[in-house]
Amino acid sequence: MSMTVTTTLKLDAATRLHMLHQMIEVRSVEARIQELFLENVIRGTTHLCDGQEAVSVGMAAVIDAKRGDTVTCTYRGHGHALALGLPLKSMMAEMMGKAAGCCKGKGGSMHLTDMSKGLIGTFAIVGAGLPITNGAALTAQIKKTGAISISIFGDGTANIGAWHEAINLAAVWKLPSVFLCENNLYGEYSAYGDTAPVPNVADRAAAYNIPGVIVDGQDAEAVYAVVKEAADRARSGAGPTLIEAKTYRFRGHSRTDPAAYRPAGELAAWQARDPITVLSARMIADGQLTESELTKMKNDADQLVEETTRWALEQPYPSVDSVNDDIWV
Amino acid sequence: MSMTVTTTLKLDAATRLHMLHQMIEVRSVEARIQELFLENVIRGTTHLCDGQEAVSVGMAAVIDAKRGDTVTCTYRGHGHALALGLPLKSMMAEMMGKAAGCCKGKGGSMHLTDMSKGLIGTFAIVGAGLPITNGAALTAQIKKTGAISISIFGDGTANIGAWHEAINLAAVWKLPSVFLCENNLYGEYSAYGDTAPVPNVADRAAAYNIPGVIVDGQDAEAVYAVVKEAADRARSGAGPTLIEAKTYRFRGHSRTDPAAYRPAGELAAWQARDPITVLSARMIADGQLTESELTKMKNDADQLVEETTRWALEQPYPSVDSVNDDIWV
Amino acid sequence: MATITYREAVVRALDEELARDENVIFFGEDVGKAGGVFKVTPGLYEKYGADRVRDTPISEVAIVGAGIGAAVTGLRPVIELMFADFAAVTLDQIVNQAAKLRYMSGGQIKVPLTIRAAQGGGAGFASQHSQCCEAWFMQAPGLKVAVPSNPADVLGLLKSAIRDDNPVIFLEHKNQYAEKGEVPDGEHLVPFGVAKIVREGSDVTIVATQRMVAVANKAAQELATQGISCEVIDPRTLVPLDMDTILASVKKTGRLITVEEAVHAGGWGGEVATQVTDAAIWYLEAPVIRVTMGSSNVPFSQPLEEAVIPDSKRVVEAVHRALKP
Amino acid sequence: MATITYREAVVRALDEELARDENVIFFGEDVGKAGGVFKVTPGLYEKYGADRVRDTPISEVAIVGAGIGAAVTGLRPVIELMFADFAAVTLDQIVNQAAKLRYMSGGQIKVPLTIRAAQGGGAGFASQHSQCCEAWFMQAPGLKVAVPSNPADVLGLLKSAIRDDNPVIFLEHKNQYAEKGEVPDGEHLVPFGVAKIVREGSDVTIVATQRMVAVANKAAQELATQGISCEVIDPRTLVPLDMDTILASVKKTGRLITVEEAVHAGGWGGEVATQVTDAAIWYLEAPVIRVTMGSSNVPFSQPLEEAVIPDSKRVVEAVHRALKP
Ligand SMILES: Cc1ncc(C[n+]2csc(CCOP(=O)(O)OP(=O)(O)O)c2C)c(N)n1
Ligand SMILES: Cc1ncc(C[n+]2csc(CCOP(=O)(O)OP(=O)(O)O)c2C)c(N)n1
Ligand SMILES: [Mg+2]
Ligand SMILES: [Mg+2]
């Protein structure tokens, strides 16, 4: 069985402020992106993460790209990418398919990548990232770099074969992999309980003889604590950990989803545990932040996002001649 | 965690005799097939099951093809097919690629099929049979036939994605599926413990919130008892069960495998628990069989196999014009 | 004659067949309660119930396998894989199991399974959600493959697929769901293996499928103003493939151009073209030209995506080249 | 010049590259302690240790994924999928991930991964263990594909594959492992994209790969006794494909025949033939004929299996037909 961790860890004021700042920025970005989609400035589809920002910042605080730590995540990756340090400009330009985007406009919302920040891939095929995280962990194990690799995925992903094979291989090879599940209660429009026979994703850790940990996904400090512990364990050679962060997406699955399937009151109940509020309230209580500072942070973020959006709008599209670049090395 | 069942069930003398007879026949067939391969009378590859006969007969005793019960098994399927009632002639002819074979020579050793006996497929791709068993179980569930479907696979198969997806779906839909693992300690040349992080395959049942049962795979009556219980449970609508029969293959993985990887004494230890001896000794103790009767049964089986082999050798190959038959309905 | 959308044609076909035959069932990810990710299957769950219309976990291998097993044992399942690109996670069940079970069993097994999936680019879904995947399936003898280009064919072919005793891959073009078209009143069935001559012509034969049919028509209209007469053929099903109609046309026009929204290697155009150059080369008065995506992936950025997917301009150029003396 | 088997060429290439570059690692099912199911990799585990030569669980998705991730982060993994047919259980990792990661990331990612698998029929392994699968991979831009027909090419191409910064699918023909051939002494590298003219000729160009090269040669010898001169070309790699050599030959002979041990639809012969009929149709003096398995699966029974796999008799017939006035 899995164990639930309720950490009482308190990070220093600077770290808290950094996390809070990142969460506020992500929140602001997601809101703007939704607008840009509705205005058809951004095309295709998008999967916003607002409500889940604590997982992004708690996870990112553990990653040290210099050492070789790496992350694979999913199409719901804007928050993870920004928290890992993907420049906002690179991201906004990529969202619009501009040449200045991190993927030169070829990837878009579902494939944000920044090798320099350890984000080695954002996968739009459910489950595809986990086996690849193992490969990065294998490099670390063989080269003895002390690096780890974290794969982030959702609750619905625990039902696909790639998930099983990857966690099994990591357990058998004792790879320095960390499997971080964002259980936001839904896989697309299906409630977790309708597609899985066990109450928690972490309950499945026992099938691989690895630790299964459940954490409050609205609490950035708690997420940091469990991911840090799993990372330390992985670096020590003890193998992978399966972490389940209980969280919630404040919007539908993707741009086109009104999320009508949600029971009345569910959203409100989770908004009451908004990760930004959870951390900022704690900081205010600890005398590390004032309401007015918080308001200013939000306004500054909105302004930065607005400026960056305007900048990105003015960026050129990639030249058509570049369409077949980067297929081959 | 999984539970180990040690049954004290005693089947009636007639059923025991039938099981014993089938096991002896399978043993004799496998020995002859190995010879025919070495003589290059049979080509390709084969995966013999001698040592594992108790699983075949214990499983088959639960299947009622009339009611619609079905089975999917693997390339290691000679014993299962015969126990389910595939005529020896059909099988031997198929092994030689003759027109009189159950698959008209198109399938061979790895694809024995007999729809009339509920054997809806023998799969040479590891894990491929489990999802298909679910489909047969789905038909039974929707048509309310009271039928079940059993999927038989090996210990190494528990590491492939199809295994996970199939057991999960069966658990979520409460399908009348029974997942029967023959843990013969090896997947090809790899020891079970080298590729799986849990002591028993059945330990993984908890990840699907279904019963996991371990049974002595050398004891036909014990296998029958647990499969019967799982089948009754499935018919009642309570969903699937994962059964792990601890057994051993007396030969290498396939024709070409000398099985050098086995620790000294391992084979002998398992031969001491030969499923034929286990049941026949019990019958002799219960006064249901004499040594001489047992010897006669073995001689009769060898003779039948020999006659059938000669018959099959004389059978014609399918006409070359039939090569593209049965691609399309 | 009613006018309905490509999307509505899918649900009408499913509705009619679910109503006609209780052995027809339908399942896939979010196809039930939610009515499908592409909003293609609304109302079926409510109408036919949770037993016959099911939502599944995200488990494509288990989904296809369940479809196969149910088909083998007497049902006529229709399953949805959502994006055709996802077939890659379960290709074994499709090409090694569904396609071959009948053959390997010497004809004992029948697999009346219909696998629906949405393919194609043009909407900014990037490389993992925009591919045309018909080639994966054409290579597996035992599978039939349908590629409808309009609502009437969606309706008529999907109903035929569900009634077919062979496994059928039914590929819908995700960028056509909103397209409208006329469908006959009453029961409408379109047989497999019968191509449709979309436009008659005498100078050049253009074979195209799905969204490329409209692209070919647009080119044909433009060329007509230049006095060039194009015959546009929509095979409608790639397996079986109606080569008779295509060969007859090429023997008339002497020129063949195929238009595919797919990479060049392995595309159906290669099958059409090589059958023509084997059987009718003496009728050819020009190079056989395949208009394809070449060797490109589908990029996210709009101008790049528009550059890789064939448009009428490229078809016009190809026709001009074919007509160069 | 030493004479070694096709099998020995595989292990020699792996051994040389494992010794040359510590970033090269090798893993797959039973490739280590047991030396491989096809006994292709003996001794490597003992020589390079359990860290660099690993046995895996039966988990093809995890195996390919681990290969990708290790390649992305600086290693040069070689993985084995045993039978190429098994690629179908992990096609997503190969064609949607390995092939596309570089493109989707705008060139940030490099995937120097080599995926080995044994393909082909002729040994009675039936439909799920006998396919030639190159078509699955040719359709995914970003993947290179090698199909060696002899020990020297196995050695030289596998070493080149391991040094290539792109993902490479390396397909060995399981029925050629025992075939002997000469290999140059010292380091031997064969570049990708350079076809080999196996036999020069002037009347007909025959393009063949792997086991079909010998089949084509046998036919060519027989035809030589009839005064017919065949040029036999082995592309050696299908991606990249050396069309220059093939086109030059067809321009000389005016006749093209492709010989594939694969189904007709989607086969590499379609790619070769359509590139020729686009670029060189005026040079053709005969129908382009593709000798393939047609639309058959591979049956178990020997006479049936021999009937579906192309033999020299069918090649001779094709040549005669191409020469019919
Ligand atoms: C193999 C595959 N199947 C289906 C999909 C379609 N799909 C995209 S996201 C998604 C839901 C995933 O749910 P979850 O893992 O909980 O992640 P979340 O979106 O909630 O973050 C599905 C089914 C896909 N992308 N890949
Ligand atoms: C997808 C796939 N991977 C690999 C193989 C090759 N293979 C055939 S049998 C086998 C071992 C299976 O072991 P287990 O499940 O324990 O069954 P056993 O042979 O012991 O009965 C392997 C790896 C295969 N047939 N299919
Ligand atoms: Mg979710
Ligand atoms: Mg085993």
Task: Convert chain B into a string of H (helix), E (strand) and C (coil).
Answer: CCEEECCCCCCCHHHHHHHHHHHHHHHHHHHHHHHHHHCCCCCCCCCCCCCCHHHHHHHHCCCCHHHCCEEEEECCCHHHHHHHCCCHHHHHHHHCCCCCCCCCCCCCHHHCCEHHHCEEEEECCCCCHHHHHHHHHHHHHHHCCCCCEEEEEEHHHHHCHHHHHHHHHHHHHCCCEEEEEEECCEECCEEHHHHCCCCCHHHHHHHHCCCEEEEECCCHHHHHHHHHHHHHHHHCCCCCEEEEEECCCCCCCCCCCCCCCCCCCHHHHHHCCCHHHHHHHHHHHCCCCCHHHHHHHHHHHHHHHHHHHHHHHHCCCCCHHHHHCCCCC
What single letter denotes the amino acid at residue C74?
Answer: G
pLDDT band at A4 (very low <50, low <70, confident <90, very high): confident
Nearest to B328 by CA among C112, D130, C169, D293: C112
| Distance in angstroms (rounded) separating the CA atoms of residues A97 and C307 | 14
pLDDT band at A172 (very low <50, low <70, confident <90, very high): very high
pTM exceeding the 0.95 threshold for the entire prediction: yes
List of chain D residues whose C-beta atoms are within 8 Å of the C-beta of residue A135: 65-73, 77
User: In this model, does residue A2 exceed pLDDT 70?
Assistant: no
User: In this model, does residue A1 exceed pLDDT 60?
Assistant: no
> Which residues face B123 on adjacent strands?
B74
Question: Quick one: pLDDT at residue B256?
Answer: 84
Torsion over CA: A13, A14, A15, A18 (sign): positive
Residues of chain C with pLDDT under 70: none
pLDDT band at B255 (very low <50, low <70, confident <90, very high): confident
- In ligand 2, the atom with minimum distance to the C-alpha of B155 is 16
Task: Determine how many CB atoms are found less than 10 A away from the CB of residue A103.
Answer: 29
**Four-CA torsion C160, C166, C169, C170, nearest 10 degrees:** 10
Q: Shortest CB distance from A328 goes to which of D75, D96, D166?
A: D166
Distance A163 CA to ligand 3 centre (A): 14
Q: Which of A79-88, B8-17, B216-225, C138-147 has the lowest mean pLDDT?
A: B8-17
Nearest to C275 by CA among A50, D277, A35: D277
Residue closest by Cα to atom 21 of ligand 2: B154
Q: Is the peptide bond before C240 cis (omega within 30 degrees of 0)?
A: yes
- Give the pair of three-digit tokens for residue D216: 């084509």
Question: Quick one: pLDDT at residue A316?
Answer: 98
User: In this model, does residue A25 exceed pLDDT 70?
Assistant: yes
Instruction: Summarize pLDDT for B272-307 with one digit per residue, the tens.
Output: 999 999 999 999 999 999 999 999 999 999 999 999
The vertex-A249 CA angle with A246 and A250, nearest 5°, equals 130
- Give the pair of three-digit tokens for residue A157: 């992903």
Long-range contacts (CB closer than 8 Å, 24 or more residues apart) made by C35-43: C36/C80, C37/A188, C37/C82, C38/C7, C38/C82, C38/C118, C38/C174, C38/C177, C39/C7, C39/C177, C40/C7, C40/C10, C40/C11, C40/C118, C40/C172, C40/C177, C41/C10, C41/C11, C41/C14, C41/C80, C42/C11, C43/C11, C43/C15
Interchain proximity A139–D74, CB inside 8 Å? yes
- Give the pair of three-digit tokens for residue D89: 């259980």
Question: Quick one: pLDDT at residue C1?
Answer: 87
Q: Shortest CB distance from B327 goes to which of C67, C72, C141?
A: C141
User: Higher confidence at residue B5 or residue B156?
Assistant: B156
The predicted model gives B179-208 an average pLDDT of 97
Interchain proximity D58–B161, CB inside 8 Å? no
Bridge-based pairing state of the strands C144-146 and C237-239: antiparallel
Instruction: Summarize pLDDT for D143-191 with one digit per residue, the tens.
Output: 999 999 999 999 999 999 999 999 999 999 999 999 999 999 999 999 9
Residue whose tokens read 């954490």: A215
- State the burial class of residue A315 (Cβ atoms within 10 Å of its Cβ: 0-12, 13-18, 19+): middle
List the single best residue of A189, A253, A256, A317 to mutate versus C (max C Cβ within 10 A): A189
Q: Shortest CB distance from C70 goes to which of B106, B138, B328?
A: B138
pLDDT band at A6 (very low <50, low <70, confident <90, very high): low
User: In this model, does residue B9 exceed pLDDT 90?
Assistant: no
- Give the pair of three-digit tokens for residue A306: 């607005």
Question: Quick one: pLDDT at residue A26?
Answer: 98
Q: Using a 6 Å cutoff on CB, does residue D82 contact ligand 2?
A: yes
Residue whose tokens read 């350890």: A118
What single letter denotes the amino acid at residue A205?
Answer: A
Residue closest by Cα to atom 2 of ligand 2: B126
Q: Which ligand is nearest to the CA of A126?
A: 1
User: In this model, does residue B1 exceed pLDDT 60?
Assistant: no
Residue B174 sits at the chain A interface (C-beta within 8 Å) = no
Interchain proximity A329–D57, CB inside 8 Å? no
Q: Which of A144-148, A230-234, B110-114, C37-41 has the lowest mean pLDDT?
A: C37-41
- Give the pair of three-digit tokens for residue C142: 């035992």
| Distance in angstroms (rounded) separating the CA atoms of residues A67 and B259 | 44
What single letter denotes the amino acid at residue D79?
Answer: I
Torsion over CA: B136, B142, B147, B153 (sign): positive
Question: Quick one: pLDDT at residue D325?
Answer: 78
| Distance in angstroms (rounded) separating the CA atoms of residues A165 and C135 | 28
Distance from CA of A107 to the nearest CA of B (A): 28
Element (H, E) at D6: helix D6-20
Q: Using a 6 Å cutoff on CB, does residue B76 contact ligand 2?
A: yes
Cβ-based neighbours of C208, under 8 Å, separated by 6 or more: C149, C215, C216, C232, C233, C234, C258, C259, C260
| Distance in angstroms (rounded) separating the CA atoms of residues D107 and B281 | 70
Question: Quick one: pLDDT at residue D146?
Answer: 99
Residue closest by Cα to atom 6 of ligand 2: B126
Q: Is the peptide bond before C148 cis (omega within 30 degrees of 0)?
A: no
- Give the pair of three-digit tokens for residue A61: 């605080």
